[in-house]
Amino acid sequence: MKNTSDEPSGLRERKRRETLGRIAEAGLQLFVKKGYEETTLENIAAAAGVSRRTLFYYFKSKEDILLAWQGSGFAQALHPTMLQESPDQFPLDAARECLLKLASRLETKESIAVDGLLRSSEALRARKEAAYVELEHSLLNAMLELWPDPTKRNAHRVTAMVAIGTLRLALESWREEGGQPSLAHHISRHFDLLKHQV
């Protein structure tokens, strides 16, 4: 009979998670060491102790093996974290606070390594930009729960776009300046710029 609970915890599930982890780790390690293009799926499969075909059982593409590391859970945490904000503020201010709380997740070794790799080809750079649009959607959905006014949908879209766009610029600037000072600082400064420009 099928197990309908959320998290089955048998041997099968454990091995599954282990294999998934081995593949993701072997992938990231090789990408960092040899470069993304220079690493073949054959390489990853060998390092993970699995057949090439099995890679596609766990990931739908080579890119996905890299993207699995993106943002250290930033994307997953965005929605719930935003929901914790009080609705007694302007949406943009709430978004700002939320992003500040999550900033540390983007300051990890993995995040930085992955970000470097995401610059190494057109296709990967494009994926990175697309990821921001995903964040925008997560943020928008949380906003729609916090301020459930159907007539403000477009306004919220604009707010989410501005907030995530500001995060993107802050990250860029943080990197350009070699991680100095903290990312949170850059985010704050960029949100301040916003008020003066718009």
Partner that binds at residue 88, options DNA, a second copy, none, CB closer than 5 to 8 Å by kind: none
> If binding is defined by CB under 8 A, does position 118 make contact with a second copy?
no
Name the amino acid, one letter, at 83.
L
Choosing from 125, 145, 179, 181, the residue that interacts with a second copy (CB under 8 A) is 125
Q: How far apart are CA 187 and CA 183, in angstroms?
A: 6
The angle subtended at Cα 9 by Cα 8 and Cα 14, nearest 5°, is 115
> If binding is defined by CB under 7 A, does position 19 make contact with DNA?
yes
Q: 47-66 mask for DNA (x: CB under 7 A)?
A: --xxx-xx-xxx-xxxx---
- Exposure of 19 by Cβ count < 10 A (0-12 exposed, 13-18 middle, 19+ buried)? middle
> If binding is defined by CB under 7 A, does position 13 make contact with DNA?
yes
Residues in the chain: 198
> If binding is defined by CB under 8 A, does position 151 make contact with a second copy?
no
Partner that binds at residue 27, options DNA, a second copy, none, CB closer than 5 to 8 Å by kind: none
> If binding is defined by CB under 8 A, does position 56 make contact with a second copy?
no
Choosing from 129, 145, 181, 182, the residue that interacts with a second copy (CB under 8 A) is 129
Choosing from 16, 22, 137, 157, the residue that interacts with a second copy (CB under 8 A) is 157
Q: How far apart are CA 176 and CA 196, in angstroms?
A: 23
Exposure b/e, 24-61, CB count within 10 A at least 16 = b: bbbbbebbeeeebeebebebbbebbebeeeebeebbee
| Stretch touching a second copy by CB under 8 A, among 34-42, 43-51, 100-108, 190-198 | 190-198
Structure-token pair, residue 136: 């925008």
Q: Find the helix or strand (DSSP H, E) in which 166 lies.
A: helix 153-176
Of 19 and 120, the one with the shorter C-beta distance to DNA is: 19
Structure-token pair, residue 151: 């007539």
> If binding is defined by CB under 8 A, does position 193 make contact with a second copy?
yes
> If binding is defined by CB under 7 A, does position 42 make contact with DNA?
yes
* Phi, psi dihedral angles at 9 (to 5 degrees): -130, 30
Residues that bind a second copy (CB under 8 A): 91-92, 122-123, 125-127, 129-130, 132-133, 154-155, 157-159, 161-162, 165-166, 168-169, 173, 189-190, 193-198
Residues that bind DNA (CB under 7 A): 1-3, 10-13, 15-16, 19, 39-42, 49-51, 53-54, 56-58, 60-63
